Amino acid sequence: MYKLMMEWKAVALQLLWPQNIDSLPAWKLSLSRMLQVSFAVVRDFLEGQLTLRAMSLVYTTLLSLVPLLALTFSVLKGFGVQNQLEPMLVNTMSALGDQGAEIARQIVSFVDNIKVGVLGSLGLGMLIYTVISLLHKIEKSFNYIWHIDHERPLGQRFSEYLSVILVGPLLIFSALGMTASLMSSAVVDVVSTVPMMGFVVEYIGKLIPYGLVIIAFTFIYIFMPNTKVKVLPALIGGTVAGIAWETAGWAFGTFVVNSGSYTAIYSGFAILIMFMIWLFVSWLILLLGTSIAFYCQYPGHLGVGRKDKKAISALMTEKLSLLVMFFIGRHYYRHESEWQVGELANWLGVPLHVTQEIIDKLHDCELIIHTSEGSPPYVPAQDMETLSGKQILEAVRSGDEEGGVMPWRLPKEPVVDQMMQATDDAIEQFMGQQTLKDMVIAGLDDELNAMDKSNLSEKRI
């Protein structure tokens, strides 16, 4: 039995992580990548952090939902479409059945009781702060999934969050209005009379809700993390999460219809409990979708879980530091677009958190600077003609001493000191005079020589 299990495990690993990946046909490569992403998402789910963060977002949503809708209501009221708020909530909570309509009516009644105009400056400030705190909580959960330790600056947070809160509802209702107008137009009515086309129009009408949810999720995956998210990974995550959310809504609605025993047990609390469970399922699906987007953008993390994180060796730190400085210096020398952390991680083929640690180390040592806020691109902070390889190594080797670990307090052993001095002398001899510019030019010469050899081989063939 044990031998059979080991054989199945070997087959599964071979299927997940094929050796000659470049020689695989496109469909096998796509299948392998889908299995890898699925494996990584399930692994993250089983670790429990996504579940805990979804639970935390449920609590924050309960506190912030009414203030958020109050701000949305005040914006929609200025355009005369505030009466559409309750139907939209009912549609969103359709998974709760008749109870969803009841919850929507209760929420709208709470919103009606909030008079933004009579709250005063302090009350309005607290209202906005509650909404901002909800979005901040969402950003922190997304940043955790994307392995990002830096949050948006406070000013940027308020400006971007408020712009989404104020503009987002208008875009949503505009999209819903245009969709409804398109589906009820005379052209669609005429096309629907055609036997086969009527089926197509009906099918498209059923797919439109999925499309709107996918677009909304894709926008959230691009906007919320404090990093540059590419459209294709966000779209993949949004598609999977959108389909899962709509499907989960149908399944949850079926469960609610057949859950009369819960109503008998919990009585009036049954509606609240069902609402909280649906919020939890919705947040969990949203977090799993952004996890899919993350792994699609950074496949180097597929085989590395958070529990598998280990400190890299000193030798690997030095080599990665030199590589990072070389690539940043080469792009700067060529006047190409600056490197960002995610692009460097993909180019180096190492996990994002490892590249981020190297970047932070070089930035703290003032060897590189970032050129913008948020998820910034990096450029050399010193003149490439004077920055030597020895300085780079000395910078990344320093600054790790903590507490009472001080070099001058260590025991004096001549043999050890001589070995350390010999190492320093060798570094000085081979790297003391070689600058970052020399490294970049040498790398460019190697590229030209490789291209010349390749062209010569093609001519001989």
pLDDT tens by residue, 422-447 = 877 787 777 777 888 888 888 776 66
- Can you give the pLDDT at residue 448? 65
- Number of residues that make up the chain: 461
- Can you give the pLDDT at residue 444? 75
| Three-state DSSP class for residue 344 | helix
Which domains does the chain possess? 46-301 (no CATH), 310-399+415-453 (1.10.10.10)
Q: What is the average pLDDT value for the chain, to the nearest integer? A: 75
For residue 378, what are the β-bridge partners?
339, 370
Q: Is the dihedral of CA 231, 58, 252, 92 positive or negative?
A: negative
Residue 45 pLDDT greater than 50, yes or no? yes
What pTM did the predictor assign?
0.69
| Three-state DSSP class for residue 380 | strand
- Can you give the pLDDT at residue 178? 59
d(CA 173, CA 86): 12
Mean pLDDT to the nearest integer, 396-417 = 68
CA 247 centroid distance within chain = 23
DSSP letter string, 342-366: HHHHHHHTS-HHHHHHHHHHHHHTT
- Can you give the pLDDT at residue 343? 78
Q: Tell me which DSSP letter residue 408 carries.
A: G
Mean pLDDT to the nearest integer, 175-182 = 59
| Side-chain-facing half-sphere of 298: CA atoms under 13 Å | 28
> 151 with 143: CB under 8 angstroms?
yes
- Can you give the pLDDT at residue 460? 47
Residue 239 pLDDT greater than 90, yes or no? yes
Which residue in this structure is represented by tokens 């990665």?
A: 320
d(CA 76, CA 227): 30
**What is the phi/psi pair of residue 339, to 5°?**
-75, 145
**Alpha-helix runs per DSSP H in 267-313:** 269-297
Give the pLDDT confidence of 46-81 residue by residue, as tens digits.
888 889 999 988 888 888 877 777 777 776 666 665
Above pLDDT 70, what percent of the chain?
64
- Can you give the pLDDT at residue 289? 92
Helices and strands (DSSP H and E) totals, the chain? 18, 2
| Three-state DSSP class for residue 39 | helix
Give the pLDDT confidence of 87-126 residue by residue, as tens digits.
766 666 666 666 667 777 777 776 666 665 556 667 667 7
What separation, in Å, do the N-terminal and C-terminal C-alpha atoms of the chain show?
55
| Three-state DSSP class for residue 334 | coil
Which of 37-46, 119-128, 311-320 has the least mean pLDDT? 119-128
Mean pLDDT to the nearest integer, 214-234 = 88
Residue 188 pLDDT greater than 60, yes or no? no
d(CA 3, CA 21): 27
**Alpha-helix runs per DSSP H in 48-153:** 49-78, 85-92, 98-113, 120-145
| Side-chain-facing half-sphere of 345: CA atoms under 13 Å | 23
> Which residues 6+ apart lie within 8 Å of 289 measured at CB?
217, 221, 237, 238, 240, 241, 242, 244
Which of 84-98, 171-185, 383-397 has the least mean pLDDT? 171-185
> 286 with 223: CB under 8 angstroms?
no
Residue 237 pLDDT greater than 90, yes or no? yes
- Can you give the pLDDT at residue 292? 93
